[in-house]
Amino acid sequence: MHTEDFFPKAYEPLTVQDRLYKQWLEQKIFHANAHSSKPAFSIVMPPPNITGVLTLGHVLNNTIQDILSRKARMEGKEVLWLPGLDHAGLATQVAVQKYLLKTKKIDPRTLSKEEFLKIVWEWKENHSQKILEQLQKLGCSADWQRTRFTLDAAYSQAVANAFIRLYQKGLIYRGKRMINWCPASQTALSDEEVIPKKIDGVLYFVRYRLFDDPSVSLTVATTRPETIPADSALAVHPDDSRYKQFIGKFCLRPFPKEPIPIIADRRVDPQFGTGVLKITPAHDKLDFEIGIEHNLPIRDILTAEAKLNCPEVAELHGLDRFEARKKAAELLSSLGLLESEQPYSHVVGFSERAEVAIEPRISEQWFLKYPKTKEALEVVKQKIISFFPSYWEKVYEHWIKNIQDWCISRQVWWGHPIPVWWKNGSFVCQLESPGEGWKPDPDTLDTWFSSWLWAYETMDVETRKKFYPTEVLVTGPDIIFLWVARMVIAGLEFKPSQTEDLQQNIPFRKVYFTGLIRDKQGRKMSKSLGNSPDPIELINKYGADGLRFGLLRIAPQGQDIRFDESQIEEGRNFCNKLWNACRFRNRLGQTNPHPNPWIHPKSSFSHEILKKVGQTSSLLNEAFDSFELNQAAITLYEFVWNEFCSKFIEAMKWELAFDCKETHLGAYETFDYTMSIILRWLHPFVPFVTEELWQKMGFGRSSIQLEKWPGEELQNILKKPLYDPVASSTASAIYEAAAAVRTLRSLYCPNLNQKVKFFIKKEKELTDLEKAVFSGLIGASSVLSIDVRPLVKTPAVLTPLGEIFLPLEGLVNFELEKQRIDKELTRLKKDLLLLEKRLSDEQTLSKAPKEKIEGWKEEKNSLTLKIKKLEEQRDFLSDRTNR
């Protein structure tokens, strides 16, 4: 077959991906056998929400899982990568409500529960398939036959059984407590679902007059004057000398006017505001605690929608909380009680899903007192579960030690029903209705109450026996409390292994925390900012392999990532580099599917690349052992692009052009051997291009993912060693010298196609083949050996082969070159002057982002270096002209 037909000039991923993925599915390569005798390796996919489409965060997370799964298969393990989807109760309900309002012009509040849930199930069917297809486009090798959904019938029953079991143990209870309330979603939230955000607000200084002497007042600093009608007391620190004489007295609440006590409490911060705190037990968690301890009345003046419910103050009644805040300030001012206002930045909790400020609210909810917290702490401390990076262990430990009871009920329709039945104010906890007249609890369970069972309830008994505990969980640190810690607790509490062995009940042995993907300016990606690219568009543009490899190269373990599309383009370019390397070999003839370079005479260049194979193997093993997958990708990029393509292949071209063919077969075998290693190394990272090349190169008839991962045999290259160290050292010296000479000639004759004469005052002897290859690498017409330096001043560079000179006679027109350099220097100095002016302008610097200023500084350093080199070059030419 013609090379152009068999091997197109460039890798065309869109013609390859769907075809190969279909083959993999047909061959059932991803399907795990629970009865296999192979050692098990398992991962449960963090289930994407059914609220939308794939994000770059999903791409990074699932690429890492796929790398680990594919590598494990090649290591001879029975791999289960179990996929699934999360119903995401509150998030999905909010998304569907927005969809109905925006697209269908339907107010969700006009729908019955049954009508609304029918629409959500339709949404689920449409979106779940789309998400799974997108993961397949990425190349994910999950066991799709085992795909689970958190509202599957069997899974739902398991969630209900967990609730009943915990209730029967006295760990789940119903109580009236201060909770986080989302006015937009009309539901309770756990502490972990509340995101602290810094906002710019106002601090209002309000006078509270003494009841028995209105001429005296205490000033309170508050951010929420709209809650004054709910005040039950003022509080001061008992040791604050400013206010000791007022403790036990009464002051007048501004509105509705009523005497309230002045109390002492050590939880008051004397340094905040004036040191006087207004106590509003119904609308602040600390105030609630103080109110309970001091037996203060609780006045709830906010509705579920966060509107004022205070008929006694007509001016505020019925207003939204933020409108009421402004109105309350006006009212205080009119009463002469508003002393002052000050701008004030402070932290406010926001609903993670609805993105509105939450309200502390007293509400009757279902709570869980966490079991097994001591054991959950110990399994991480003792490294039974290891975190990567390890510093997240401290964060985990802090949360476990300060754990609060979990509010597990939600006032949403879409979710797991609470297995509780009510009649005449009484309830029973069981799966089925007790009979006539009993009504189900109207609430549903927090989504995370189902997700914490994900590691084992997704598996049937046989699968669990083989694959539980799982090997690793790949997730983001933002859900270390919401999910990771709770899964550990669930595994220890429910004992999925049906034994008391703690090590068999943990949900996973390792946790890999990814970083957050941000844009080039460091901002979190979001649709509203327009900085969140569509991964499918990136796949269509650069290929799935380009997206995977480009993203992973910039994703250090646990660190945030600055995304730049050019990095994905680099990923595609890398795949093309690999493709063209194989295309070059294909033009030379058939490859050997079982290459053995050690039985043939080899050049120093073959010895050098074999040594590099051994060294790269060691670096990859270290990277995988420490879960530094980003470093593994960088190592592979460096080896393939620089060592193999830029050095070995370029040397091989000149070696094959040399008259003596003694080492030619060794070069072919070395290429084939190294490429078979490269493709297997790279397969977990870039599965499509490596599969296609594996077949085209004839290395095997079956899929590359069923081939053996390069292992101990590569370590023998360095241990025995299986290469000639002296020959390898010579090749390394030639490569280093060639790079130095190319840099030198780029200053005077950048066109490598123009053959140039060189002189060498040599220090290292080379064979005729090595001389020929070196000459080819530097574009030399000849390299003449000399014993003394040239009499005429000549550009030179010191290399491991000796000092190499570039004679300029007949190569450079000195006057024209000086004119060119002068023109370039004028331009560069003008640019430098503008940069220096910008960097010395305080007004400009005060407004510019930090990243931009750093960019200007780097540009200044680069320009300064270029100017210095050009000035040195011009001085050299001037010396030659003046001779």
Instruction: Give per-residue pLDDT as tens, 494-515.
Output: 999 999 999 999 999 999 999 8
The separation between CA 412 and the C-alpha centre of its own chain, rounded to angstroms, equals: 30
pLDDT of residue 531: 77
pLDDT, one tens digit per residue, over 650-708 is 999 999 999 889 999 999 999 999 999 999 999 999 999 999 999 999 998 899 999 99
Positive/negative CA dihedral, 176, 177, 178, 179:
negative
pLDDT of residue 1: 44
pLDDT of residue 814: 67
Dist. CA 269–CA 689, nearest whole Å: 63
pLDDT of residue 873: 74
pLDDT of residue 788: 85
Dist. CA 467–CA 41, nearest whole Å: 7
pLDDT of residue 876: 74
Residues 6+ apart with CB under 8 A from 711: 75
Q: Are residues 194 and 321 in the same domain?
A: yes
Dist. CA 589–CA 497, nearest whole Å: 56
Dist. CA 29–CA 21, nearest whole Å: 10
Question: Could you tell me where the beta strands, DSSP code E, fall in 40-150?
Answer: 40-44, 78-82, 84-85, 148-149
Q: Are residues 712 and 772 in the same domain?
A: no
List, as one string, the DSSP characters of 353-395. TT-SB-EEEEEEEEEE---SHHHHHHHHHTTSSEEESTTHHHH
Q: Which of 319, 339, 359 delimits the end of a domain?
A: 359
Q: Which of 705, 681, 676 is nearest to 74 (CA)?
A: 705
The β-bridge relationship of strands 217-222 and 470-475 is: unpaired
Dist. CA 639–CA 35, nearest whole Å: 39
Residues 6+ apart with CB under 8 A from 470: 42, 43, 44, 455, 507, 508, 509
Q: Residue 629 is encoded by which pair of tokens? A: 């997958």
Q: Residue 380 is encoded by which pair of tokens? A: 């991480």
pLDDT of residue 364: 93
Predicted TM-score (pTM) of the model is 0.86
Dist. CA 544–CA 60, nearest whole Å: 12
Rounded mean pLDDT for each run of 10 residues along the chain, 883 residues in total: 70 95 97 97 95 86 97 98 95 91 91 96 91 95 97 97 98 94 92 90 97 96 97 97 96 97 97 96 94 95 95 96 97 97 95 90 95 97 96 95 94 96 96 96 96 97 97 94 96 96 96 90 71 90 97 89 93 97 95 94 97 96 95 97 98 94 96 98 98 95 94 86 94 97 86 86 91 96 88 85 88 70 85 88 82 85 85 74 58
Contact 668, 592 (CB under 8 A): yes
Q: Are residues 702 and 751 in the same domain?
A: no
Helix axes 565-587, 535-542, angle to 10 degrees: 30
* Residue/partner pairs of 328-335 with CB below 8 Å, 24 or more apart: 328/225, 328/226, 328/228, 329/202, 329/204, 329/225, 331/254, 331/255, 332/204, 332/206, 332/225, 332/254, 335/254, 335/255
The separation between CA 582 and the C-alpha centre of its own chain, rounded to angstroms, equals: 33
pLDDT, one tens digit per residue, over 622-638 is 999 999 999 999 999 99
Q: Are residues 739 and 673 in the same domain?
A: no
Residue 736 belongs to a domain: yes
Residue 289 belongs to a domain: yes
Q: Are residues 777 and 672 in the same domain?
A: no
Dist. CA 663–CA 667, nearest whole Å: 6
Residue 408 belongs to a domain: no
Residue 349 belongs to a domain: yes
How many structural domains is the chain composed of? 4
Residue 557 belongs to a domain: yes
The separation between CA 832 and the C-alpha centre of its own chain, rounded to angstroms, equals: 38
Q: How many CB atoms lie under 10 A from the CB of residue 168?
A: 11
Contact 630, 512 (CB under 8 A): no
3-state SS class at 649: helix
DSSP 3-state helix, strand, coil percentages of the chain (rounded to 5)? 50, 20, 35
The CA angle 532-534-536, to the nearest 5 degrees, is: 160
Residues 6+ apart with CB under 8 A from 826: none
Q: Which residues does residue 61 pair with via DSSP β-bridges, in sequence order?
A: none
Q: How far is CA 839 from CA 836, 846, 858, 862, in A?
A: 5, 11, 11, 15
Q: Are residues 713 and 736 in the same domain?
A: no
pLDDT of residue 882: 59
3-state SS class at 650: helix
Residue 883: Cβ-neighbour burial (10 angstroms; 0-12, 13-18, 19+): exposed
Dist. CA 789–CA 764, nearest whole Å: 17
B/e letters for 617-645, b = 16+ CB within 10 Å, e = fewer, are: bebbeebbeebbbbbbbbbbbebbbebbb
pLDDT of residue 2: 46
Residues 6+ apart with CB under 8 A from 245: none
Residue 480 belongs to a domain: no
527 is an annotated ligand-binding site residue: yes
At residue 314, φ and ψ (nearest 5 deg) are: -60, -30
Q: Which residues does residue 561 pair with via DSSP β-bridges, in sequence order?
A: 517
Q: Which of 697, 723, 749 delimits the end of a domain?
A: 723
Residue 242 belongs to a domain: yes
Residues 6+ apart with CB under 8 A from 582: 7, 675, 693, 696, 697
Q: Are residues 826 and 778 in the same domain?
A: no
At residue 215, φ and ψ (nearest 5 deg) are: -75, -15
| Domain membership of residue 775 as a residue range | 731-805
Q: How many CB atoms lie under 10 A from the CB of residue 230?
A: 25
Q: Which of 669, 702, 723 delimits the end of a domain?
A: 723
Q: Are residues 703 and 777 in the same domain?
A: no
Q: Residue 166 is encoded by which pair of tokens? A: 């915990």
List, as one string, the DSSP characters of 199-243. EEEEEEEEEEEBSS-TT-EEEEEES-GGGGGG--EEEE-TT-TTT
Q: Are residues 297 and 233 in the same domain?
A: yes
Q: Are residues 198 and 346 in the same domain?
A: yes
Tally of residues, the chain = 883
Residue 141 belongs to a domain: no
Residue 674 is part of a domain; what is its CATH number? 1.10.730.10
Instruction: Write the DSSP symbol of residue 524.
Output: B
| Secondary structure of 410-446 as H, E, C letters | ECCCCCCECCEEEECCEEEECCCCCCCCCEECCCEEC
Q: Are residues 715 and 820 in the same domain?
A: no
Torsion from C-alpha of 399, 400, 401, 407, nearest 10 degrees: 80
Dist. CA 72–CA 79, nearest whole Å: 7
Which residue reads 């009940």 in tokens? 505
Residue 176: Cβ-neighbour burial (10 angstroms; 0-12, 13-18, 19+): exposed
Residue 211 is part of a domain; what is its CATH number? 3.90.740.10
Dist. CA 630–CA 719, nearest whole Å: 27
Q: Which residues does residue 511 pair with via DSSP β-bridges, in sequence order?
A: 387, 473
Q: Are residues 716 and 779 in the same domain?
A: no
